[in-house]
Structure 1
Amino acid sequence: MGHEVDVKEEWWRGATIYQIYPRSFADSNGDGVGDLPGITAKLDHVASLGVDGIWLSPFFTSPMADYGYDVSDYCDVDPVFGTLDDFRALLDRAHALGLKVIIDQVYAHTSDAHPWFAESRMSRDNPYADWFVWADAKPDGSPPSNWQSVFYGPAWTWDARRKQYYMHNFLPEQPQLNLHNEAVQQALLDVAKFWLDMGVDGFRLDALNFGFHNASLADNPPRANPDPTRPHDFQQLINNMSQPELVPFVERLRALTDLYDARFTVAEIGGADATGEMQLVTAGNARLNTAYNFDFLDGPQITPAYVAKVMARWPEGTWPSLAFSNHDAVRIVSRCAQGREPAAYAKLMLLLLLCLRGNPFVYYGEELGLHHAEVPFERLLDPEAIRNWPETKCRDGARTPMVWHGAEPQAGFGTAEPWLPFDPRHLAQSVAAQEADGNSVLQFARRAIALRRESAALRTGDFTLINADENLLVFTRRFGDETLLCLFNLGHETGQFLLPAGCEEITALGSALPGSGAWPVLSAYVGRI
């Protein structure tokens, strides 16, 4: 269908990436925690979806204060996940199946158990003394600035060894690296080289714009009309993150990845001006390939007007990545269905994600239409959720185990009780159950991913908005002589739109009465014009 995409040059542009949260995908050794051999054993399922690659959330050595985003050894595998040889086996199997492998890199902070920090905190004059962000107390003993951490409380913790405060944008167990220090940058580039040499196909760069702070330690100003859950919601986050020094570092990283063939970089960028920062770190050909933020992860409802607004931020010459669910967000069906039939809504959202311009990231279980799991308070493990309960999105609900066989013990995840409990609603949505149902979300996901893979217009083409009213979103995707019209009823009432004459249906959800132009709730249409 359509034009062939030059995948050798830019395999990643428009590629569909499947995110795996390693703790929750498959447990191979019966300890209740998913692991790398478990993932390897299930890669046939991932390949059957037709995606281009996988993104693995952190599997590095870690005390797990933030479940792997607190790294104590960047170049080894935590024993709970396996060994470096297990990772090499995963990489080989993925490549044999035609899947690229993207891994997380966490450059803004380490674990407080990292040897770099252990040395840094011992004195003010050791070789690692300036590898983290240290500052003296104010005369009254209070922290050096008013900065607040993302999860809760001040972004500063007192350390009696150095008689100074150290900075952390997240947990106290995640001390901030001082990326202003060239030696720190080089150490991180050496980490990247380690994994590139092993054969990974690219990196997802966690919380990248938290990597640099304002060295003056100036206070953050207050935010007008805050709607706070946590103290940092009161502030404009302009000094503890999002500094101009990030761009030269990004260019150093790109120069490294360009030494290897066809490597891919995608940054996670949050904050008040996320779009501007994403475009800054991806501009031209000497920075990152793409970036994504939380527009569709914790923004407002996904309405036609909102989709149009977000896509308008990405004109020709820019390239976004897009996700509707991930490990930090409430799953899309629970967040946005608003009483509409869940399975039908899951299909609608999958097709929309795969028709938009950019790189779609599909979160494990999204191909099954999983709800956000209900995790009882006594089973919560996410420190943010526990501290801010119940005013929280509860990230644990997005991280519960994958359901492979609803009728098997532990739903086929493993032989032991898993680290987080299953949501009973998920058991009927298992892979095995949906394999046997031609009308399932899983079977539709495969068809929708294939549609994108086979269409240059969907994969890399232009995006032109046609209509965005209360119910209907209509746009075209065009590449060369292939033009597709994409229509989605994202509202709660029937919408009205007459298809152009001669439009040839490729796929549809629901349908309009012939000639009526009346599109019911949860309907969608993709056709060639």
Structure 2
Amino acid sequence: MTSFRPAPRWLADAVFYQIYPQSFADSNGDGIGDFDGIAERLDHLAWLGVNTVWLNPCFVSPFRDAGYDVSDYLNVAPRYGSNDDLAKLVDEARTHGIRVLLDLVAGHTSDQHPWFTASANDPADDRYIWAAEGPDGSRPDGFVDSPGARPGAYLPNFFAFQPALNFGYAQENPAEPWRQPIGAEGPRANRAALRAVMDHWLGLGLSGFRVDMAASLVKDDPDKTETARIWTELRHWLDDTHPDAVLLSEWGEPEVSVPAGFHTDFFLQFGGPTDGRALRSLWSNTEGTVNESWDPLDCFFDPSGKGTPGLFVDAWQQASAAVADSGFVSLPTANHDFSRLNCGPRTAEQLPAAFAFQLTWPTLPAIYYGDEIGMRYVPGLPDKEGSVLGPRYNRAGSRTPMQWDDGPNAGFSTAPADRLYLPLDPAPDRPTVAAQRADETSLLHFVRRLIALRTATPELGSGGSVEVLHAGYPFVYVRGGRYLVVVNPRRNAVSYAYGIAAEPRPLEVSGVHVDGGTLTAEGFAYGIFDLGR
């Protein structure tokens, strides 16, 4: 394993909170969230116990893919404010004890980025991956015809308007001359550009980056060896120039990404043996109906009990052993690309158990905005900035405006309803921050108590040991040799025989009973107990 400077000390205690900025809080009444709106809501995050915020891309963009099509890495999009407004937000967050990370789209740009428009008109420019037109006018599979004077076609990363930056190919082929080596001029220029972009924003007070599609850089790199080398190079640079900054990867395989140089990686988003499904219980298509084609055995939180925590435990143990002390694994509730934890009425009851698990497991928790109040995935919304991914799934349902109160537009914006970035959840009983702040029995208060308990109890944090006693239903484990956690994501009651010498002291318990060494968990129950030393 490559030797890096140890991760900054603050990272071990991080509680991440992801903000989709256009949907969080609108300060100027244009229907789109902005930096000033986020700044006005920092009190909520500080009260909740969050200490690290990740913002989805906020750079200049034509917004055909919600900002993941960047046309200027060094300036923010005017709809969010100015660079000075972002700097003020970072400063204000710091006064609340909150660090801010930006989203770095490393592998591609918009087709409107000046780099690409120049490359599309200059056959000598190798910042992107270009293939010459075949004798019969053909182009290689997956390539898109040039929009400029340059003949041939370019390789996109995702949508056609997102041309892939050229970081080289792991395997060259003389018959395919677009497969440039990693050390060619174009790939070297792009690695230098990544350093320049990171240096710019870190110099303005940002604390690091979540890196989009971090595994996508080098092409035809099946084991990601060459892509890992790029991140290793960047990590050494970061250690030397910005040692307190962190890199959080969208890779999905911590056992690969963390040894490569990332400080932490998201687990259970995609990739790995569970392919991102273990923490989600339902999936919705564009009509919002349940998609029964998924393998239910891959789902930990299956309410009917078809799943098994054993799949999660096996995958996590493999990743944890590979990461060891070199970094961390982060466990998210959801994000802007996936269904929320609350996908419908059948999952709302599971949310407390899900949070009891997430906030007591030895990973860095990441809460997607609104999950702390149980915001639901909203089906049937129109496409917005590339949210529809074919007939299977519409990401807009996970990107609806934050629900602050029961006022107009749920307190998100003073704009007319038809000018909002996305429609609100139309449910008459949609949860709000204000209502749950006023109710100490609410999910919001429960999540806040769990974060406080985790923060005050090192054994429940990322560094505490974990012993899995039962990787079935209920899921039972002990943290730090002292704290017993019982989670039942099923709707039916279950029991587990566990020889407890003395009555454990309950810390956060709902529906879990201890009787003569037997644990009984009612449907959707959870329990956190202090066993004493």
* TM-score, normalised via structure 1 length: 0.83
Residue 42 of structure 1 aligns with an amino acid whose one-letter code is R
Match of 2:262 in 1: 288
Residue 212 of structure 1 aligns with an amino acid whose one-letter code is V
Match of 1:205 in 2: 211
User: After superposition, what is the alpha-carbon deviation per residue over 1:254-301, rounded to whole angstroms, capped at 9, x for unaligned?
Assistant: 1232222421211101xxxx53xx323312xx7111111415854542
Match of 1:185 in 2: 191
2:329 to 320, 328, 337: 320
Q: In the aligned structure 2, how far is the partner of 1:361 from the partner of 1:447? A: 16
Q: In the aligned structure 1, how far is the partner of 2:37 from the partner of 2:429? A: 19
Match of 2:405 in 1: 405
Measured after TM superposition, the shift of residue 520 of structure 1 is: 0.8
Q: In the aligned structure 2, how far is the partner of 1:327 from the partner of 1:93? A: 25
Q: In the aligned structure 1, how far is the partner of 2:74 from the partner of 2:47? A: 30
Residues 312, 264 of structure 1: alpha-carbon distance in 2 compared, 3 angstrom cutoff: same
Residue 198 of structure 1 aligns with an amino acid whose one-letter code is L
* Structure 1 segments unaligned to the other structure (5+ residues): 1-6, 147-153, 215-237
Q: In the aligned structure 2, how far is the partner of 1:388 from the partner of 1:66? A: 14
User: After superposition, what is the alpha-carbon deviation per residue over 1:209-268, rounded to whole angstroms, capped at 9, x for unaligned?
Assistant: 111113xxxxxxxxxxxxxxxxxxxxxxx66xx642212221222123222242121110
Match of 2:353 in 1: 348
Q: In the aligned structure 2, how far is the partner of 1:443 from the partner of 1:157? A: 54
Contact 2:486/2:512 (CA < 8 Å) preserved in 1?
no
* Structure 2 segments unaligned to the other structure (5+ residues): 1-5, 169-186, 279-297, 301-307
Contact 2:375/2:430 (CA < 8 Å) preserved in 1?
no
Match of 2:182 in 1: none
Measured after TM superposition, the shift of residue 91 of structure 1 is: 0.2
Q: In the aligned structure 2, how far is the partner of 1:8 from the partner of 1:486? A: 28
Moved more, 431-440 or 132-141: 132-141
Q: In the aligned structure 2, how far is the partner of 1:455 from the partner of 1:403? A: 31
Q: In the aligned structure 1, how far is the partner of 2:435 from the partner of 2:36? A: 24
Q: In the aligned structure 2, how far is the partner of 1:426 from the partner of 1:366? A: 18
| 3-state SS of paired residue (2:150) | coil
Residue 169 of structure 1 aligns with an amino acid whose one-letter code is N
Residue 257 of structure 1 aligns with an amino acid whose one-letter code is L
Q: In the aligned structure 2, how far is the partner of 1:169 from the partner of 1:8? A: 30
Q: In the aligned structure 1, how far is the partner of 2:41 from the partner of 2:189? A: 39
2:445 to 434, 443, 446: 443
Match of 1:420 in 2: 422
Measured after TM superposition, the shift of residue 501 of structure 1 is: 2.3
Alignment pair present for 1:466 and 2:469: yes
Measured after TM superposition, the shift of residue 375 of structure 1 is: 3.6
Q: In the aligned structure 2, how far is the partner of 1:88 from the partner of 1:427? A: 37
Residues 513, 477 of structure 1: alpha-carbon distance in 2 compared, 3 angstrom cutoff: closer
Residues 183, 263 of structure 1: alpha-carbon distance in 2 compared, 3 angstrom cutoff: same
User: After superposition, what is the alpha-carbon deviation per residue over 1:324-359, rounded to whole angstroms, capped at 9, x for unaligned?
Assistant: 311000011217x7x35x1x3111111211111211
Match of 1:250 in 2: 231
Measured after TM superposition, the shift of residue 123 of structure 1 is: 1.9
Residues 301, 8 of structure 1: alpha-carbon distance in 2 compared, 3 angstrom cutoff: closer
Match of 2:129 in 1: 133
Residues 421, 298 of structure 1: alpha-carbon distance in 2 compared, 3 angstrom cutoff: farther
Q: In the aligned structure 2, how far is the partner of 1:465 from the partner of 1:107? A: 38
Percent identity, aligned pairs only, is 33
Q: In the aligned structure 2, how far is the partner of 1:100 from the partner of 1:374? A: 33
Match of 1:142 in 2: 138
Matches within 5 A, 1:76-475: 76-125=75-124, 129-144=125-140, 146=141, 154-159=142-147, 161-180=149-168, 181-214=187-220, 243-258=224-239, 259-269=241-251, 274-275=252-253, 278-283=254-259, 287-293=261-267, 294-295=269-270, 297-298=276-277, 300-302=298-300, 303-316=308-321, 317=324, 319-334=328-343, 339=346, 342=348, 344-376=349-381, 379-385=382-388, 388-389=390-391, 391-392=392-393, 394-406=394-406, 408-416=407-415, 417=417, 418-425=420-427, 428-459=430-461, 460-469=463-472, 471-475=473-477
Match of 1:217 in 2: none
The number of equivalent residue pairs is 465
| 3-state SS of paired residue (1:75) | strand
Residues 491, 307 of structure 1: alpha-carbon distance in 2 compared, 3 angstrom cutoff: farther
Residues 384, 157 of structure 1: alpha-carbon distance in 2 compared, 3 angstrom cutoff: farther
Match of 1:219 in 2: none
Contact 2:436/2:443 (CA < 8 Å) preserved in 1?
yes
Contact 1:324/1:331 (CA < 8 Å) preserved in 2?
yes
Q: In the aligned structure 1, how far is the partner of 2:8 from the partner of 2:120? A: 46
Measured after TM superposition, the shift of residue 426 of structure 1 is: 7.1
| 3-state SS of paired residue (2:343) | helix
Match of 1:53 in 2: 52
Match of 1:19 in 2: 18
Residues 427, 76 of structure 1: alpha-carbon distance in 2 compared, 3 angstrom cutoff: farther
| 3-state SS of paired residue (2:359) | helix
Contact 1:14/1:358 (CA < 8 Å) preserved in 2?
no
Residue 331 of structure 1 aligns with an amino acid whose one-letter code is R
Alignment pair present for 1:521 and 2:523: yes
Cα RMSD (Å): 2.2
Moved more, 299-308 or 17-26: 299-308
Residue 510 of structure 2 aligns with an amino acid whose one-letter code is L
User: After superposition, what is the alpha-carbon deviation per residue over 1:47-93, rounded to whole angstroms, capped at 9, x for unaligned?
Assistant: 11102211111111000010111111111110011000110110001
Measured after TM superposition, the shift of residue 526 of structure 1 is: 1.3
Measured after TM superposition, the shift of residue 464 of structure 1 is: 2.2
Q: In the aligned structure 2, how far is the partner of 1:120 from the partner of 1:29? A: 38
Residues 132, 473 of structure 1: alpha-carbon distance in 2 compared, 3 angstrom cutoff: same
